Structure 1
């Protein structure tokens, strides 16, 4: 249906006067009357009850008016909506993240991005680094927070930005300390105590860099880790530590994950550092991604 007769109908219905409606529309009264009559013929029912002194909506016209007004408002909103989409002020951003980011960089990024772009739908999903890389390579999702050293071995066409570098610490069962099985010194755990304890660890397929960083800590000290359990969720790893199954080497930001029965201790003698970064496809033209990258760059450069 042509929008012009709808606008003509709405103007007359709101003014209840053909002359004022014509002035409002910037036209003369005769073509306005002809337009309303043609619309009534098309609909098969009168929209107005006319006399020489007054114009009133018919029951049908009164019932149809709100729908016409809503349709016209929706049409008028299309151009500003397109501008917001093209400017990245609205739309949808799909962001995946490793579980460790939930305790470090992710909350800050989400809070900042939502403050700046409240109309953007932010779809978050937790996934291991390997699954994120595979999904993005297949065109699913737009960006991912991963654990990779300097971008690692990414497929062609990917970009990488370092977000955070933090030391590993030890998560140990509280009972091991109270019972004297582990004896920290000034809140630190000696390398010999770490290498002698059973270890709970990410499987290498899920987080190769994280896995190798932990096992490299043992190898650098002439030891081999005694892995008693693999787990891909950080919450699961900490739960197993709480149960006394073993210790885990985790990012320092995980101190915010308080769990009864778990103590976090610094590692003595030059602890390894874990790097968390953002990956995305360079050929993704989405304006919302462009705006998100600006927020990420600001957060990555911000002092801690």
Structure 2
């Protein structure tokens, strides 16, 4: 079985079973909650682990184990903890898609005049995005906003697939070049955002107001996941390389709150967009980066052939908000 076939063989039910076992702490407790027989659930978890092993390169194939079965209650091992975060994202996204479908239908029944689908990454929820969404809802209360949290790698393709009407994206170098080379998308540049250093509150550098990248040479980095936000990952990595060192990556995490929690636990430090400062997390401090000229810019992107008047009104709201920011 090749990697693609193995991945296709993993069903959504398998992931839900896995998450139920994690939540319940044991297969026995999860079986009771799911109303299935314990031997059946044991076989399903074992089958999931086998499929994960089958998805590896032929020379590396072996059964994957997600739990440390020597401990009671069941505890995830390192492989299981990594798979848990990905499984949660997949299940949550499907649940969101189903919920949005029902919302659209309910909106039609309730007399809503239409809807607009808007995609964004989790980091953007900390910055200007809430102001834009709030202003639109205030001005157009009869329009349903269908929001979809996306990974950077999926954003542009989902626009082209007409799965979303508009995307908020960070214009990292690779994405900027990609957008510049296309004629099917329109781009509206929004706020330019600097990067900040995130440190544990008890870090030796925590009393400084400005920190240079060179000061971070020997630190362990908690990085944004390269699969979810590849542009941000490469930008941070590139900044370090420009300062003549390769970052020592202790861990990658999907969500900003996870990164902040790990920094608060003194697992490492991080570099993140400045809007993360809106998240008040005990145990972390935010510091200006000396290399302040290096910033990333938020942009709104939509299909040029999308003539929806709802989209046009949404863009006007964006222009009004960024006009105030300037």
How would you bin the TM-score normalised by the shorter chain? 0.5 to 0.7
- Aligned partners of 1:184 and 1:190 also within 8 Å: no
The 3 A distance-change label for structure 1 pair 263 and 236 is same
Partner of 1:28: none
Shift of 1:183: 5.1
Partner of 1:223: 245
Shift of 1:90: 3.0
Number of aligned residue pairs:
213
SS in 1 for 2:267: coil
- Aligned partners of 1:172 and 1:248 also within 8 Å: yes
SS in 1 for 2:232: helix
- Aligned partners of 1:147 and 1:207 also within 8 Å: no
- Aligned partners of 2:213 and 2:290 also within 8 Å: yes
Matched, 1:192 2:214: yes
The 3 A distance-change label for structure 1 pair 296 and 151 is farther
- Aligned partners of 2:188 and 2:301 also within 8 Å: yes
- Determine the C-alpha separation between the residues in 2 that align with 1:297 and 1:122: 18
SS in 2 for 1:246: coil
Partner of 1:75: none
* 1:197-276 equivalent positions in 2, closer than 5 A: 197-270=219-292, 272-276=294-298
- Determine the C-alpha separation between the residues in 1 that align with 2:187 and 2:197: 28
- Determine the C-alpha separation between the residues in 1 that align with 2:118 and 2:291: 36
- Aligned partners of 1:99 and 1:233 also within 8 Å: yes
Task: Find the structure with the greater CA-based Rg.
Answer: 1
Deviations 1:133-177 (A, max 9, x none): 22112110111111124744135511111111111001111122x
* 1:46-195 equivalent positions in 2, closer than 5 A: 90-149=113-172, 151-154=176-179, 156-176=183-203, 180=204, 182=205, 184-185=207-208, 187-195=209-217
SS in 1 for 2:202: helix
Q: Tell me the TM-score normalised to structure 1 length.
A: 0.65
SS in 2 for 1:153: helix
Deviations 1:44-95 (A, max 9, x none): xxxxxxxxxxxxxxxxxxxxxxxxxxxxxxxxxxxxxxxxx9xxx9310111
Shift of 1:193: 2.0
Shift of 1:232: 2.1
Give the unaligned 5+ runs of structure 1. Answer: 1-84
